[in-house]
Copies of this chain bind each other. A is one copy, B any other.
Amino acid sequence: MIKRYFPILSWLPHYHRRLLGADVLAGLIVTMMVIPQSLAYALLAGLPAVVGLYASILPQLVYTLFGTSRTLAIGPVAIIALMTAAALSGVATPGSAAYLEAALVLAVLSGVILIAMGLLKMGFFSNFLSHPVISGFLTASGILIAASQFSALLGVDSQGFTLVERLVSVIPELPKVHIPTLIIGAGTLVFLIAMRRYAKVLLQQWGLSAMLADLFAKAGPVFAVLTTTWITWFWQLDEAGVAVVGSIPMGLPPLGIPMPDAALWQVLLVPALLISLVGFVESVSMGQMLAAKRRQRISPNQELIGLGAANLAGGVSGAMPVAGGLSRTVINFDAGAQTPAAGAFAALGIALVTFTFTGWLHYLPIATLAATITVSILTLVDVATLRQTWRYSRSDFSAMAMTIVLTLVEGVEAGILIGVVLSIGLFLYRTSRPNSALLGRVADSEQFRSIARHDVETHSHVAFLRIDESLYFANARYLEDTLYNLVATRPELEHVVIVCSAVNLIDASALESLEAINARLKDANVKLHLAEVKGPVMDKLKRSDLPKQLTGRIFLSTYAAWRELDND
């Protein structure tokens, strides 16, 4: 029981030196790698760069206590940063103290929501984000984030939370492009893309091991940060107008519980809910994927608690909302992390940096960070899934396309909400007009197949109708229509057998409809039978009056009904 809520107890007692070595090494690598992106995502959220460092310390340490994934690395992530910026834009001006406080409130709210969902075992809620909607949302968010970084690469201003707003605000600024900034930004961009594409192969050709080559290739942002910071410092480019991160306060995160007025909590409730949901889905799907690779398991409900605790910890330590980050987790995994201790070592590493070296980051150009974000974010744009979904299912594709369009045009919150509503609506629509098939017998067998698709035997006075859906309120009327039409068009019918092999549920509405159908067929001298009713469905039917009222019988198999009614 205690182990369930404190998964750390299941691995810490067995901890030994070999694990320690691997974890310390992974922690060290993660520390170096994630500093640029932590700063970048804080800026993306409209917050001071140092908030990104704070968000990588206490939240990660707390997750180590409560999380079930061995390799998930917690910190600021791009999507959540974008959603944070959208949520806070309505309540305060970026850069103000009120804006920072609202970010803390958002983190605390997300934490409370996630923990509550975890305690209530509501991990299944994330199931209602369908894959096409998630994929579409990530693609559109990637484009939005890249668009938001475009102006920083050019050294001009732009605002907005939709693609249109961004374009409208950046176009008039284009003549003011700042050449030194553009050189740094574009240079970093080209360098990073080249590193991604060629470095690994090249380094391996030079004799490095695959793992080391991969690690170096991934360290591209670190080299870029070091180089451009040094250049900016050496030529004092900040005085020439290159925007830099500026002075970052040295020291550990400030502790304190945010105490805003009730109105702020209320305004931020829905954004916090969406941030929680998106953060959870992203973290859990990544955690599951990596756990599967090592034949481990994670518990979604405990992950909710772990993520919630991490966000709460962030809210009281000057940080922004956090989640399991894609790139930092992959770095951690590839660097050989064995237990959550690796994450804790990385958190301590970043704490050390925050405590001592932040002065060195003063001259880091914003354009370098923008290039870092742009390159890492474009991996979210997933054209292959878009194409596959189009080929497989037009309606899934339409949900995906609407999510993309609305995210780009109306912003992240509208996009994710419409995606969920559309997915559910499409499913309900599909199930409300189910496929049904008249069946005949495959010659000399006990198998029954659709008359329309197979060459089968039939009786003229018995109709076997298979309804390919659970019977529930949304298709109860459809069921009545289908049966009345069947009887109206075939006056020679004496028996109708509803084959229930695909009926997994009969709810109270459908039960009423079946009773009405039974009564009306009785008037028309047609007997109504059921066949292949599943165990759980039958258990429930026995508690209703239908079995008594039914003019016909309930057969175990369609074949039994066929034999029985043949002689009739």
Contacts and interface: CB of A to CB of B under 8 A. Distances in A.
A472 interface: yes
Nearest to A450: B535
A396 B508 contact: yes
A502 interface: yes
Nearest to A453: B535
A216 interface: no
B130 A392 contact: no
A447 B544 contact: no
Given A424-B424, A446-B445, A502-B502, A473 B509 contact: no
Contacts of A509: 130-132, 396
Interface in A169-185: none
A424 B425 CA distance: 10
Contacts of A128: 428, 432, 473-474
A512 B392 CA distance: 11
Nearest to A127: B474
Contacts of A447: 446, 557, 559
A388 interface: yes
B512 A131 contact: yes
Contact of A389 (B469, B508, B545, B557): B508
Contacts of A430: 505
A542 to B, nearest CB: 10
A149 interface: no
A446 B177 CA distance: 76
A431 B504 CA distance: 9
Contacts of A505: 430-431
Contacts of A475: 127
Interface in A539-559: 540, 543-545, 557, 559
A328 to B, nearest CB: 23
> Helix, strand, loop or mixed for chain A's interface?
helix
A534 B429 CA distance: 19
Contacts of A435: 504, 534, 536
Contacts of A535: 437, 450, 453
Interface string A119-149: 0000010011111110000000000000000
A559 B520 CA distance: 37
Contact of A469 (B132, B432, B453, B504): B504
Most buried by B among A133, A475, A503, A504: A504
Contacts of A446: 445-447
A129 B392 contact: no
A218 B450 CA distance: 52
Interface string A455-492: 00000000000001110111111100000000000000
22 contacts: A127-B476, A127-B477, A127-B478, A130-B472, A130-B508, A131-B473, A292-B520, A391-B543, A393-B508, A396-B507, A396-B509, A424-B424, A427-B473, A431-B470, A431-B505, A435-B504, A445-B446, A446-B447, A450-B535, A468-B504, A468-B534, A501-B501
The 10 closest A-B pairs by CB, nearest first: A130-B473, A131-B509, A396-B508, A468-B504, A446-B446, A130-B509, A127-B474, A502-B502, A501-B501, A392-B544
Given A427-B472, A450-B535, 8 more contacts: A127-B474, A393-B540, A396-B508, A435-B534, A447-B559, A469-B470, A469-B504, A502-B503
